[in-house]
Amino acid sequence: AQKITQTQPGMFVQEKEAVTLDCTYDTSDPSYGLFWYKQPSSGEMIFLIYQGSYDQQNATEGRYSLNFQKARKSANLVISASQLGDSAMYFCAMREGGSEKLVFGKGTKLTVNP
Amino acid sequence: EAGVAQSPRYKIIEKRQSVAFWCNPISGHATLYWYQQILGQGPKLLIQFQNNGVVDDSQLPKDRFSAERLKGVDSTLKIQPAKLEDSAVYLCASSLEETGDTNTGELFFGEGSRLTVL
């Protein structure tokens, strides 16, 4: 069973607008962590934001925020005021309690248009 | 702080040949991971080391892939013999040993080694 589902293969957004990238997850473990990574064409995976399953508030990091809806098992990434440099692949990942490894989704390719 | 170093960045070989990739994690990071990322997919964990011991190698094709982390620092991933389907980017990552209030346990990745098998 797929643990991380990203249903949007590609997304387009105009510069300066906000965009939401979807992620749903599947786990029976009450303790888990959710991550978003950005992968530019250079190939390196860049950590963006983290949400713990017990965190009461949605995580925010600059222009990135995570819309965490625990009951729906969704952890959508919101990028505000998109910039051309935001064009990249975006991966949602999960780590279950007691494990250090990350399980990744298939990713969403974001293109920011001028 | 130096990041995760990987080499080579690119490698082209013919099927049935062998190849080796090297990774130097961030200093002080006890946990090291090798991920395989096939074009158009998310990274898939091949093997996880804690210091020089293997924690998880359940998805490593052990008939052709091997990895070691001598002395708990650098690591080498080897493929012998390579198959066409091994064409991918091999990502090395490292993380601190324990999560805590100030450590989310995120993985720090290198730039990857892109393998093309002809």
Assess B107–A contact: CB distance below 8 Å, yes or no: yes
- Residue A66 has a CB neighbour count (10 Å cut-off) of 24
Instruction: Give me the pLDDT at residue B82, please.
Output: 97
Instruction: Give me the pLDDT at residue B104, please.
Output: 72
Instruction: Give me the pLDDT at residue B101, please.
Output: 46
Residue ranges with strand state E in chain A:
4-5, 10-14, 19-21, 24-25, 32-39, 46-52, 60-61, 64-69, 74-79, 88-96, 103-104, 108-113
Q: What are the tokens at A18?
A: 């906000």
Assess B104–A contact: CB distance below 8 Å, yes or no: yes
Q: What are the tokens at A63?
A: 């222009």
Q: Give the strand pairing for A46-52 and A32-39.
A: antiparallel
Q: Which residue of B has its CA nearest to A40?
A: B111
To the nearest whole Å, the CA of A44 is away from the closest chain B CA by 4
Assess B14–A contact: CB distance below 8 Å, yes or no: no
Instruction: Give me the pLDDT at residue B97, please.
Output: 62
Instruction: Give me the pLDDT at residue B63, please.
Output: 95
Mean pLDDT to the nearest integer, B88-97: 91
CB contact under 8 A, A100 and B48: yes
- Write the CA distances from A37 to A52, B15, B77, B106, integer angstroms: 15, 32, 23, 10
Residues B79 and B87: their CA atoms lie apart, in Å, by: 11
Instruction: Give me the pLDDT at residue B37, please.
Output: 97
CB contact under 8 A, B42 and A101: no
CB contact under 8 A, A100 and B42: no
Residues A29 and B33: their CA atoms lie apart, in Å, by: 22
> Would you give per-residue pLDDT tens digits along chain A (114 residues)?
569 999 999 999 999 999 999 999 999 989 999 999 999 998 889 999 999 999 989 999 999 999 999 999 999 999 999 999 999 999 999 998 777 788 999 999 999 999
Instruction: Give me the pLDDT at residue B91, please.
Output: 97
CB contact under 8 A, A47 and B31: no
Summarised one tens digit per residue, pLDDT across range B13-54 is 999 999 999 999 999 898 999 999 999 899 999 999 998 899
Share above pLDDT 70 across residues of chain B, in percent, rounded to a whole number = 93
**Angle (CA) B103 A92 A26, round 5°:** 100
Q: Which of A37, A95, A107 sits opposite B105 (nearest CB)?
A: A95
User: What do you get for the CA distance between the two ends of chain B, in Å?
Assistant: 37
Q: Give the strand pairing for B31-37 and B44-50.
A: antiparallel
Chain A residues close to B48, C-beta within 8 Å: 100-101
Mean pLDDT to the nearest integer, B80-107: 82
CB contact under 8 A, B44 and A52: no
Assess B33–A contact: CB distance below 8 Å, yes or no: yes
Residue ranges with strand state E in chain B:
5-7, 10-13, 19-24, 31-37, 44-50, 53-56, 65-68, 75-79, 88-95, 108-109, 113-117
Instruction: Give me the pLDDT at residue B70, please.
Output: 82
Chain B residues close to A105, C-beta within 8 Å: 42
